[in-house]
Amino acid sequence: MARGVTLGQMIDDLRAEAGHSLQPNLGKSMREVLINLLQRTQRRLWDDYAWPFLRITSDINVAAGQRYYDVPSNLVFERIEKVETKHGDVWDRLHYGIGGEQYNNHDSDSDIRSSPVRRFDAYGANQIEIWPIPAENVNAATGANSIRITGIRNLSALVSEADTADLDDQLLVMFSAAELLARQKQADAQNKLAQA
């Protein structure tokens, strides 16, 4: 039971758990099905749980007058758990949601600026809007006025033989075997699911 096991090894393990031949030339037609099943199982489990070992933080340097920022490429907005800003020497949590009440106080469309930033919201495909628009740049020496995003990082690719799983290999193999055996109406499908 480990993370970081290769896709090639998990395919062999899945074949064994499902009672398929371990000879690669005999299972070529099923190979893509097994890869897809392992990929989907990992994505589903990643989406269903907040895995502590996948939690990361990424800092964004705030620029005076900049309203929108890209979410770091190793995160997606839906898996963000916390957004903070450094005000002086203290990290303060930003509240989610920007609406009419906030724009009435500091109208971002009119480029009304103020520091520190107090709120954030989703913007576009994978950006955040911060409010109010910052009046000051990040302090390079102290990190003051920067934004820190904490969340569950995206999964690594699981496509080629050498790619490694981010989640436990046995968890992925047993859930996948249970689904595969259930499709084949095999009696031990429930046993594999219980083991998973």
Take residue 116 and report the two structure tokens written for it.
């520190």
Instruction: Give the mean pLDDT of 141-148.
Output: 93
Point out which residues pair with 127 in neighbouring strands.
Answer: 70, 123
The model's pTM:
0.82
- The pLDDT assigned to 33 comes to 87
- Going by DSSP bridges, is the β-strand pair 127-131/68-70 parallel, antiparallel, or unpaired? antiparallel
Could you report the per-residue pLDDT of 90-141, keeping only the tens digit for each?
999 999 999 999 999 999 999 999 999 999 999 998 999 999 999 999 999 9
- What pLDDT does 187 receive? 65
Cα(40)–Cα(142) distance, integer angstroms:
43
